[in-house]
Amino acid sequence: MNSGRPPVIATWLMEHLTPGGRDEALAGDLLEEFLHGKTAGWYRWQCAAVVAAGYREALRTRWPAAIFAAAWVIPVPATFFRIATDARLSRLFNSAWELPWPWSTMCEMSFYVAANLLFLWTGLLTYLALHALTMREERVRVLRGLAHCSLLYLPLSIAWAVLTGLMQTPGHPVDIRHTAAVELILDPHFLPMRVPFFLSLLLSTWAALPARKRHSGKIAA
């Protein structure tokens, strides 16, 4: 018998990152196996397998959310540069830059994060509203989706910025003051900018939707 508690972080990740929420039967099976002598490493691996299986199942059964997320993030480059060139917002940024460092940088970054989250929240709520109209028997969890979106966006953006920075290749300069929104949207150089938005919206949408029926059972040793 294993008298210790199962790894807290692995349990939390399984409960909160698995699309559709916690599978009580499967979580109970894992806990039972752990209490009967399985190691903490085995438990962590099984929790990771449960989360991965949940995303695989969500991709199979919730693929319309992926199509919606891909369509929603298409105007991201134009929206981003519209914010950067707006005269009223420029005055706001100038006021922020008058603050001493690091408050000036924190104010500007906070504004961009808030604007991007508002864009993602709007997309999430739009999809959930459409889903509720077409799938009336399914109850969506709006707050869970908004929370996931808020928690996922910044880490995904930072990770993607680091990754693209390591693989950065020289590109062509773009004068956004004289570039039409359609040109920004169609420019393939701005495709990577959409990735963290797409992942944040898709994963938070899956988190808000109820899980389809799963076949629970003990995971093999």
**Could you tell me the mean pLDDT of each successive run of 10 residues in the chain, 221 residues long?**
78 85 81 88 92 89 94 89 66 68 76 89 96 80 92 92 70 62 81 92 92 52 50
Evaluate whether residue 125 is within a structural domain: yes
pLDDT computed for residue 215 by the predictor = 45
Structure tokens at 58: 């969500």
- H-type helices in the chain, by residue range? 8-17, 24-35, 40-61, 63-72, 76-85, 87-97, 103-134, 142-166, 181-186, 195-208
**Is 143 a domain residue?**
yes
Question: By residue range, what is the domain housing residue 159?
Answer: 63-208
pLDDT digits (tens, 9 = 90+) for 206-219: 999 886 655 444 45
Together in a domain, 46 and 143: no
The residue from 25, 43, 61 where one domain ends is 61
CA 131 to chain centroid, in Å, comes to: 19
* 215 found inside a domain: no
SS (HEC) of 149-166: HHHHHHHHHHHHHHHHHH
Contacts 24+ apart (CB under 8 A), 92-97: none
Of the candidates 16, 37, 51, the one whose C-alpha atom is nearest the C-alpha of residue 141 is 16
The rounded distance, in Å, linking the Cα atoms of 65 and 128 is 9
* 115 and 19 within one domain: no
49 with 75, same domain: the answer is no
pLDDT tens-digit series, residues 56-74: 888 888 899 999 999 999 9
Q: Tell whether 17 and 77 lie within a shared domain.
A: no
Residue 3 lies in a domain: no
Is the residue at 213 inside a domain?
Answer: no
- In angstroms, the CA 188 to CA 199 distance is 18
Note whether residue 221 is domain-resident: no
Q: Is the pTM of this model over 0.75?
A: yes
76 and 105, same domain (yes or no): yes
Q: Are 194 and 76 in contact (CB under 8 A)?
A: yes
**Domain termination residue (choose one: 61, 87, 105):** 61
Q: What integer pLDDT is reported at residue 217 of this predicted model?
A: 45
Asked whether residue 83 is domain-assigned, the answer is yes
DSSP state of 18: S
**What is the separation of C-alpha 174 from the centre of its chain, rounded to a whole number of angstroms?**
28
Q: Give the relative orientation of helices 40-61 and 24-35 as an angle to the nearest 10 degrees.
A: 160
Number of folded domains in the chain? 2
Are residue 84 and residue 156 in the same domain, yes or no? yes
Same domain, 77 and 52: no
User: At which of 20, 36, 61 does a domain end?
Assistant: 61
- Phi, psi (deg, nearest 5) at residue 106: -65, -40
